[in-house]
Structure 1
Amino acid sequence: MHSTKPVILTIAGSDSSGGAGIQADIKTISATGGYACSVITALTAQNTRGVRAVHPVPRQMIRDQLEAVFSDLPVAAVKVGMLGDAATIATVAEALRHHGPAHLVVDPVMVSANGDPLLAEEAVAALREELLPLAQVITPNLPEAARLADGALPARLAEVESLFAGLAGLDCAAVLLKGGFLQHEPRSPDWLLSGGEVRCFDSPRVMTPNTHGTGCTLSAALACYLAQGLSMELAVASAKHYIDRAIAAGAALRVGHGRGPVEHFFRAPAAS
């Protein structure tokens, strides 16, 4: 008996603590019904307390990984995460233009959850010009959205709407704006900007420090659900439901001494 799962490619950095980046993406894709493969763009030395070092992968090695995957695997969707610099963005964008995946989710990773920079300042323009126009949807958090839209960082829920016009002006098909950074708010809304409309996906906030890798997890789940044929709105709703439950299940985890990870396999079946 043959089983078919959609192949989801994650292009991102490696997190040595296992909570974010490639490792979080592979866990998420596996948990949400896809087959995960990867292209590593950078090696990071990090843990739950922060990022100690970042080592970019040489451009030719990134090209070789991309060609190895696309020449053999039937990639149904691509999720792009940490790229680090303008040269890496150009390399990845060139491959995506050539292979044209049906679904492309771009998480414009700029800083870690602990505030450590993960994208060079001069690379923001390359991200806007080369990668965003290829994306089916981008998934910035509030600090990333403020940089992309050249707006002020909202401090309260009522101020988020000030970013909508700038985000709508970006050259991309849709934006899923994540509201997780408003940690003092009792709700955790995300907003989908698409086709001139804004839809809010709201849920109660889980009060926990274990939020390492939430952005990576949400975008990987979104890519996987899109590859399974869900509409954009249903894929967003499904991905948000998944990350909400992963955060809730991860609140009890004790991994490291800082900002811990979520529980990606909260739905995993017990061994028989």
Structure 2
Amino acid sequence: MSRIAKRFADLQREGRKAFVSYVMAGDPDYDRSLAVLTGLPEAGVDVIELGLPFTDPMADGETIQLAGQRALASGQTLERTLEMVRDFRTRDEATPIVLMGYYNPIYSRGVARFLHEAKTAGIDGLIIVDLPPEEDEELCLPALEAGIDFIRLATPTTDDKRLPRVLENTSGFVYYVSITGITGAAAASAADVGPEVARIKASTDLPVVVGFGIRTPEVAREIAGVADGCVVGSAIVAEIGQGKPPEDVLAFVRSLAEGAHNA
């Protein structure tokens, strides 16, 4: 059983919802980023999404774009991101890590080489936002063969005709994007999200977690209450962007996690 599957099975047995956090690797620099990363499990994070910085993050809003720029300026690369995961794994063998980003850096490294290095480093899943299901042979199918989950995004515009194609090779969990547009663009609404989550769950046995537009413990609790969990990214990245020390960032993360776990 993969780390992701085990974590969701454990949460289901405990009757708890998942709290998933996103941070950008290398933001604002390697050491502070690693300090936040290694503190996330103790702060209540069940699954970590680790952003891979890229020069053209088309799905991301200003907050995460700036985080990527800070990371790149500090010298963060794909190699250093894998190194960060290896560092994390010396401390934590249980918490799932999902690498989230864009295909270009992976393509440049070579898919076979990347997948071997990612698996060896301790990456459990991938979210690659610019590879649609029609391109599954590029990375999705090789990743699954390598034992790495490939997590797909479903959105408010994923209709009943499109949904089966989106779910076809998805594993780990389904990430439902609660709003149309880029990250950090609007607030999520449980009233809008609930029916969409139910529609997706009618077509898959995978957990469905909801991200985009969640900024407070109250909203985390509301959204987790209608899904299998919630994802917070931009709100956490904004705390880092304000120059707050890792302990303050992790205190904020803890408040969000408590909100989701109290759903």
| TM-score (norm. length: structure 1) | 0.44
Which structure dedicates a bigger proportion of its chain to helix?
2
| Higher relative contact order (CA closer than 8 Å, sequence separation 6+) | 2
Which structure has greater strand proportion? 1
